[in-house]
Amino acid sequence: MSETLGRNVNLYTAAQALGAATPPIIISLGGLVSMSMGAPHELMTLPVFLFNLGLALSTLPAAFLMAKLGRKSAYIIAGFMALISATLSASGIITQTFALFCAGTLLAGYYAAHVQSFRFAVVEGLPKEVAPRAISRVMIGGLIAAVIGPQVVVWTQDAMDAQYAGAFIGQAVLVLLGLAVIVQIRDSGPAPKKAKSETDARLGDLLRRPRYTIAVAAGVVSYALMAFVMTAAPIAMVDHGHQVHHAALGIQWHVLAMFAPSFFTGKLMVRFGKARITALGLILIAIAGLIALQGLELAHFWGSLILLGVGWNFGFIGATALVAEAHTPEEKGLAQGFNDFMIFSTVALGSFMAGVLLNASGWYTLNLVVMPICALILAVMLLLRRYPLQPVEV
């Protein structure tokens, strides 16, 4: 690995640690801020929904901007948008303006869409044999972010007269530190124009391919169910007598569980197959729902969230690998773009419905919904075994 490429890997790892700390802050506090402002119960998770919606809607514009200006320039623009986002959120809390706070979380999704691409950016220009090591290094950044985000919530809880506002000031500081890292990245510049064969790819051809559609469905369900439960969990914990810092720490353990298995998930997929590991992830998500149904003690909430994180890791990473094998190189942009759009659009919807269902029917009912959805996808995967999830011939 050259000195320049090695330097970029270290910089992207640091940028990941700082940039990926934003979602845990918003997820931990979004519903609690809504409660403190007296928002209608059915709108408790609206800020988190808007964050995920912003992420979903920004996926394709972010890709376009990176292709047009180069990754570094796009990341710097996203960083300045994130500063505006944190300012809006903090101002909304200080002035008790719910709409202003929601505008801030919506805009934060634009920054998150760019942070999502760090794992792809880090391997650009690297030889294939060292690319996995680079991705693993960035995953370490995700682990660090899982600690930083919730700890910012805990450290700043009483830092200002307006409760929770300090966490979003802390978010702005993290963005500034991230920008200081990003400006040091050596960028390759705008991407070259796509070949004509790549622009000829058709979505209909992909959707008629069972191995592609079930892989997308598995990824969508793994991510959406995780977000569905995770969004509601902090509100449910506080509603049932637990402290705010317990809710923040629950999210911290959950996010750690999301990233920590990544160091061996690849080895498990090589040994047992990508489809089996994906199915195992869905099973673990369903078991997490069962744990949540056993009681309302801290152990039930934290145990469920930890297993939910591990299930997401296996289900989402396994499904991502299956998607990558279900299209030709010419279809890569369309196949992966549609996959990400479906995932984050469904995540946005799930985070909104979490608040609606939690208010209407409660924590137990919300977790009951998880199991039949997992069972449905598992059943479809079994039925479609006659369509081997193998690489498409080029």
Residues 387 and 302 in one domain: yes
What is the per-residue pLDDT for 192? Answer: 59
What is the per-residue pLDDT for 297? Answer: 94
User: Do residues 389 and 211 touch, judged by C-beta distance below 8 A?
Assistant: yes
Question: Which positions ≥6 away from 197 have C-beta within 8 Å?
Answer: 330
pLDDT band at 103 (very low <50, low <70, confident <90, very high): very high
Tens digit of pLDDT for each residue in 153-194?
878 877 788 889 999 999 999 999 999 999 998 876 665 555
What is the per-residue pLDDT for 394? Answer: 38
Identity at 295, one-letter amino acid code: G
Tens digit of pLDDT for each residue in 223-254?
999 989 998 998 899 889 898 888 888 888 99
Q: Based on the structure, what is the number of domains in the chain?
A: 2
Residues 159 and 261 in one domain: no
166 part of a folded domain: yes
pLDDT band at 136 (very low <50, low <70, confident <90, very high): low
Can you tell me the mean pLDDT for 320-331?
76
- State the residue for tokens 């299930």: 311
Measure the CA–CA gap between 320 and 312, rounded to whole angstroms. Answer: 11
**Domain of 97, in residue numbers:** 1-190
Residues 150 and 288 in one domain: no
215 part of a folded domain: yes
> What's the maximum distance between 2 C-alpha atoms anywhere in the chain?
61
The CA–CA distances, whole Å, from 201 to 50, 173, 248, 325, 327 equal 31, 42, 44, 16, 10
Can you tell me the mean pLDDT for 112-119?
85
Measure the CA–CA gap between 334 and 331, rounded to whole angstroms. Answer: 6
52 part of a folded domain: yes
- Over 50: is that where the pLDDT of 199 sits? no
195 part of a folded domain: no
pLDDT band at 391 (very low <50, low <70, confident <90, very high): very low
Question: Which positions ≥6 away from 319 have C-beta within 8 Å?
Answer: 215, 216, 218, 219, 222, 278
Can you tell me the mean pLDDT for 141-156?
84
Residues 208 and 324 in one domain: yes
Tens digit of pLDDT for each residue in 6-29?
788 889 989 999 999 998 899 888
Q: Which DSSP symbol is given to 393?
A: P
The pTM of this model reads 0.75
Domain boundary among 190, 218, 234: 190
What is the per-residue pLDDT for 389? Answer: 46
User: Which has the closest alpha carbon to 79: 51, 110, 54, 50?
Assistant: 110
Q: What is the pLDDT of the chain when averaged over all its residues?
A: 85
User: Do residues 254 and 305 touch, judged by C-beta distance below 8 A?
Assistant: yes
CATH number for 19 = 1.20.1250.20
Question: Which positions ≥6 away from 128 have C-beta within 8 Å?
Answer: none
